[in-house]
Amino acid sequence: MAPLHEVWIPPVHRDLTAGAERVQVEAATVGEIVAALERRFPGLAARLTQGDALRPGIAVAVNGVISTRGLRQRLNEPSEIHFVPAISGGSASPT
């Protein structure tokens, strides 16, 4: 049986989760988390992934550490998962 994880939903995606900030998901990898989220909240996988990888500009943090393995990241123990959208901004030019 896979461990149960606390998954935090970014505010920009909460329209698909009826406003839920976090949900519990049983999974062995981040990819399985995305699949489970898609079953519960159709459309969420399309916002988080592109093909078989995280979308450009989306990172996943496991227990506060950004994963370099993306969807392949193994989850061997109960973890806190955050999907982190990139924050874009500009620079002010001096006048």
For each of the domains in the chain, give its residue range(s) and CATH number, in order of start.
4-85 (3.10.20.30)
**pLDDT 10s digits, 32-91:** 999 999 999 999 999 999 999 999 999 999 999 999 999 999 999 999 999 998 665 545
CA dist., res. 35 & res. 3, Å (int): 15
Going by C-beta distance under 8 Å and a sequence separation of 6 or more, which residues neighbour residue 58? Answer: 48, 49, 83, 84, 85, 86
Residues 9-23, mean pLDDT to the nearest whole number: 95
Residues 8-34, mean pLDDT to the nearest whole number: 96
CA dist., res. 69 & res. 92, Å (int): 34
pTM equals 0.87
- Cβ neighbourhood burial of 5 (10 Å; 0-12, 13-18, 19+): buried
The conformation of residue 69, written as its DSSP 8-state character, comes to: S
